[in-house]
């Protein structure tokens, strides 16, 4: 039996680039879709939030002179593009999924509501939450926390390109040590850049555990769901 019955899976937009410098790598997209389909086949109810950094990141736009609100809105639209791509990839391999948007934009996607989302999840459909929270100044990590709490997820699975949380950036510091488990308070006190403070606080206050793992390694998602020792678990 899977360890979790309902999850919120956060995917990195940057990881969708694969070996490219911009956009969507078709192979990486297909690998993600296959892993998600396998998870759903276990009977796990899967909600997904995907970032948009492979196309446009609001804060990087601000650094280039964009208004923050407009920049964040552009970033929200980038998440919609990625969500549509993932939805198409899932449908092409026979997985039933749909896109819900935090900003009304039918017929691109259905306008989000908790009732719709939980209803579709209960029917075994994969639900992709796009356009962040629909508001500027909030990251997709915060959107993931919010949606995970709203749908009553058992865990927030944060798929990244590293295999967990370390004492330092393992790509820069070879002596960095990986945590098996860590608390939200420790993340804050140690200044670890796992997700923004709003997302961290929401997960802590609502007792939503976070699992940080390497989604780019095929098979890892199933290992997490089966309770294997993969990644780092963050608890209250």
- β-pairing, 126-130 vs 181-183, is unpaired
pLDDT tens digits, one per residue of 166-179: 999 888 899 999 99
**7 contact partners, CB below 8 Å, separation of at least 6:** 39, 44, 45, 46, 47, 148, 153, 154, 155, 156, 157, 225
Task: Check pLDDT > 80 for residue 72.
Answer: yes
Structure tokens at 6: 């309902």
3-state helix/strand/coil string of 66-110 = CCHHHHHHHHHHHHHHHHHHHHHHHHHCCCCEEEEECCCCCCCCE
The Cα 124–Cα 43 span in angstroms is 7
The Cα 198–Cα 139 span in angstroms is 9
- At 62, the pLDDT band (50, 70, 90 cuts) reads confident
The pLDDT value given to residue 60: 76
What's the whole-number average pLDDT of the chain? 95
Percent of the chain predicted with pLDDT > 70:
100
pTM across the whole model: 0.95
Considering the domain 6-235, what is its CATH architecture?
3-Layer(aba) Sandwich (3.40)
CB atoms within 10 A of CB 96: 13
3-state helix/strand/coil string of 140-189 = HHHHHHHHHHHCCCCEEEEEECCCCCECCCCCCCCCCCECCEEEHHHHHH
CA 137 to chain centroid, in Å, comes to 17
The Cα 78–Cα 187 span in angstroms is 29
Strand partners, 49: 10, 129
The pLDDT value given to residue 37: 98
């Amino acid at each position: 039996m899977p360890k979790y019955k309902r999850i919120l899976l956060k995917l990195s937009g940057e990881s969708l680039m694969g070996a490219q410098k911009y956009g969507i790598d078709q192979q990486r997209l297909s690998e993600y879709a296959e892993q998600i389909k396998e998870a759903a086949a276990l009977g796990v109810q899967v909600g997904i939030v995907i970032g948009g950094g492979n196309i446009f990141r609001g804060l990087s736009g601000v650094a280039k002179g964009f208004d923050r609100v407009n920049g964040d809105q552009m970033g929200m639209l980038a998440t919609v593009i990625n969500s549509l791509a993932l939805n198409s990839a899932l449908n092409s391999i026979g997985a039933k999924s749909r896109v819900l948007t935090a900003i009304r934009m039918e017929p691109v996607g259905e306008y989000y509501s908790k009732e719709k989302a939980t209803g579709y999840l209960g029917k075994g459909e994969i639900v992709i939450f796009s356009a962040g929270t629909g508001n500027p100044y909030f990251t997709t990590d915060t959107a993931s926390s919010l949606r995970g709490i709203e749908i009553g997820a058992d865990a927030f699975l944060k798929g990244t390109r590293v295999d967990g949380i370390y004492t330092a950036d393992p790509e820069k510091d070879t002596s960095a040590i990986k945590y098996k488990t860590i608390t939200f308070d420790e993340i804050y006190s140690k200044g670890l850049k796992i997700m923004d403070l709003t997302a961290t606080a929401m997960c802590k206050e609502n007792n939503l555990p976070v699992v940080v793992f390497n989604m780019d390694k095929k098979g890892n998602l199933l290992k997490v769901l089966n309770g294997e020792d993969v990644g780092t678990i963050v608890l209250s």
